[in-house]
């Protein structure tokens, strides 16, 4: 895909279960998907033939990392012009959701199946900035405005 061509969605993810959630949604998406992912054995194996930019995880308790992530996301989202930004979690998503919010790009937050108590900082921030929130259990519907029940993704 050419660097200046339009992108249907940008999926932002770290490794593990949040990656599987984002992967499940990306496979349902129509159009080209670009990935911003944390390099790990599972992400490398599953994204081998994908358009992916590898990034380091961002700790939200370290504001400088969030600022760098936001700056990079802002620049790349302007260039790529995606229709959506999608993520299921961790700190890497926060800068991208902030940039999408400021640029008026819709975002989709996927609430992971394993959340039973309080959300983490990234989940709280991203779900509040998101235009839509997908939940996997009916009990999660009341926790988010704009929530849609999709059911278990994998």
Class in CATH terms, 9-149: alpha beta
Domain boundaries, the chain: 9-149
Q: Check if the beta carbon of residue 58 is closer than 8 Å to that of residue 65.
A: yes
- For the cut 80, the answer to whether the pLDDT of residue 114 exceeds it is no
Question: Residue 25: pLDDT band by 50, 70, 90 thresholds?
Answer: very high
* Higher pLDDT among residues 52 and 137, named by residue: 52
| Between 117 and 7, residue with greater pLDDT | 7
Tokens of 113: 């199946």
Q: Is the pLDDT of residue 4 over 60?
A: no
Q: What is the pLDDT of residues 58-90, one digit of tens each?
A: 887 878 888 999 999 999 999 999 999 999 988
Instruction: Please answer whether residues 147 and 128 qualify as being in contact, where contact means their C-beta atoms are separated by less than 8 angstroms.
Output: no
Cα 113 to Cα 18: distance, rounded to the nearest angstrom? 9
**Spatial distance between the Cα atoms of 96 and 146, rounded to a whole number of angstroms:** 19
Q: Sorting pLDDT into bands at 50, 70 and 90, what band is 3?
A: very low
Per-residue DSSP letter, 117: S
Q: What is the model's pTM? A: 0.90
């Amino acid at each position: 895909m050419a660097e200046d061509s339009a992108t249907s969605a940008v999926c932002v993810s770290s490794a593990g279960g949040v990656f599987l959630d984002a992967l499940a949604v990306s496979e349902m998406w129509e159009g080209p998907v670009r990935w911003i992912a944390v390099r790990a054995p599972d992400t490398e194996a599953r994204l081998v033939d994908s358009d992916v930019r590898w990034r380091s995880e961002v700790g939200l308790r370290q504001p400088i990392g969030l600022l760098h992530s936001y700056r990079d996301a802002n620049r790349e989202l302007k260039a790529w012009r995606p229709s959506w930004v999608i993520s299921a979690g961790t700190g890497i998503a926060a800068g991208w959701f902030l940039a999408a919010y400021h640029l008026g790009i819709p975002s989709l937050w996927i609430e992971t199946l394993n959340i039973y108590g309080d959300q983490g900082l990234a989940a709280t921030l991203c779900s509040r900035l998101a235009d839509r929130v997908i939940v996997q259990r009916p009990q999660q519907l009341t926790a988010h405005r704009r929530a849609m029940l999709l059911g278990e993704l994998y």
